[in-house]
Amino acid sequence: MTERIVLAYSGGLDTSVAIGWIHEATGAEVVAMAVDVGQGGEDLETIRQRALDCGAVEAYVADARDEFANEYCMPGLKANTLYMDAYPNVSALSRPVIVKHLVTAARKFGASTVAHGCTGKGNDQVRFEVGITSLAPDMKCIAPVRDLALTREKAIEYAERNELPIVTTKSNPFSIDQNVWGRAVETGFLEDIWNGPTKDVYDYTDDPTFPPPADEVTITFDKGIPVAIDGRDVTPLQAIEELNQRAGAQGIGRIDIVEDRLVGIKSREIYEAPGAMTLIAAHKELENITLEREQARFKRMVDQRWTEVVYDGQWFSELKGSLDAFIDDTQEYVSGEIRMELHGGRATVTGRRSESSLYDFGLATYDEGDTFDQSSARGFIDIYGLSSKQAAARDHKFDKGSRL
């Protein structure tokens, strides 16, 4: 029986060429698999037919938009995922769902090897291969660009020589990855980190310098998940899509960062994530009024570690599962409404309310209705500062000098 290899297929030049390139290099039949995670562009049937026309023996397509939003983006939202305090894990969150469908396709079509289009310099090769072997330890992985010397120039020449049904051009200077959670742009002139991004870099966001009138939005959460916008029920996917449009129109969610890649390289990346950044800002504010102080402090550390684990391609790890359990537990009371003003590149919280809020007006007010017992403060301060007071007294006793 002829060996089969399942290829993660995007419909673009590199993976279209990879179908024949892999067959010629290995003798294996290639099954192409495409996953829709909200990247837009061509419909899945067009992509499926192109894969067959390029030589795939089978083409498998999956509409995973709701699955991606529910099972991957929402855990990211609960964790307020911001790698290096800036990047909401746009690509990293999409890889595990693609991996899941790759392995499913490999089992279905009797393949023992999975192929992907990543280079040897990026994070995604790690995310794909660690994810695949975590779900299917018996499977092998190959990367045509990394392992079979498939360069961009060779891909163009191969496509033209074999008259593949794909546009071949060297004019696009950028490498782009996008899904409903956001958009990532790199390479080209952006590799000179002194160069500012030009207007053609952006697609999900409009120029925030000349915004339309301010847009007020109210987001309703239930246990950390957005369930309504302006009183209208929404699914997680609908929430992200609507806020991509509304926040994107205001230029919200543009990120320009020199990022620490897993492989040790510093890489300049441009991201657009209007919906994700708006939702994270709203979710963090709702947590501010619903999480107890020490729980909130510890969760910030857990959120950061969760973000790093996911960025580093360990979605299916034991640690990730344990961190999920803690984060999910913290969301029990993260329900309520956040009102925001979207305008000129900013998503600004202007109101918050929750039946499970820990904010107590009687304790917080300085005016009439104050219920705080101020007589308790003196004793609290004495006890709170006692250890520092004792240490300072010892310093004076042994003439260690003043701390002034």
DSSP 267-304: EEEEEE-HHHHHHHHHHHHHHHHHS-HHHHHHHHHHHH
**Among 320, 323, 330, 261, which Cα is nearest to 295's?**
330
DSSP 75-102: HHHHTT--BTTTB--HHHHHHHHHHHHH
Catalytic entry in 14, 36, 177, 303: 14
Tokens of 270: 């441009």
Q: Which residues, in sequence order, are bridge partners of residue 18?
A: none
146 given a catalytic annotation: no
329 given a catalytic annotation: no
Catalytic entry in 112, 146, 147, 175: 175
Q: Is the separation of the CB atoms in 367 and 374 below 8 Å? A: no
Residues listed for the chain = 404
14 given a catalytic annotation: yes
Q: Is the separation of the CB atoms in 98 and 313 below 8 Å? A: no
Instruction: Report the SS3 class of residue 11.
Output: coil
Q: Which residues of 357-394 are buried (b: 16+ CB within 10 A; e: fewer)?
A: beeeeeeeeeeeeeeeeeeeeeeeeeeeeeeeeeeeee
Tokens of 189: 């002139």
Tokens of 358: 């820990």
Catalytic entry in 10, 48, 65, 124: 124
Catalytic entry in 48, 50, 95, 352: 95
Using only C-alpha atoms, what is the Rg of the chain? Answer: 26
Dihedral class, residue 223 (left if φ above 0, else alpha if ψ from -120 to 50, else beta): left
> What's the DSSP call for residue 8?
E
Long-range contacts of 146-149 (CB under 8 A, 24+ apart): 146/118, 146/119, 146/120, 148/21, 148/22, 148/25
Angle made by CA atoms 216, 197, 279, in degrees to the nearest 5: 30
Distance CA 47, CA 224 (A): 35
Q: What does DSSP say about strands 4-8 and 29-36: parallel, antiparallel, or unpaired? A: parallel
124 given a catalytic annotation: yes
Which residues are tagged catalytic? 14, 95, 124, 175
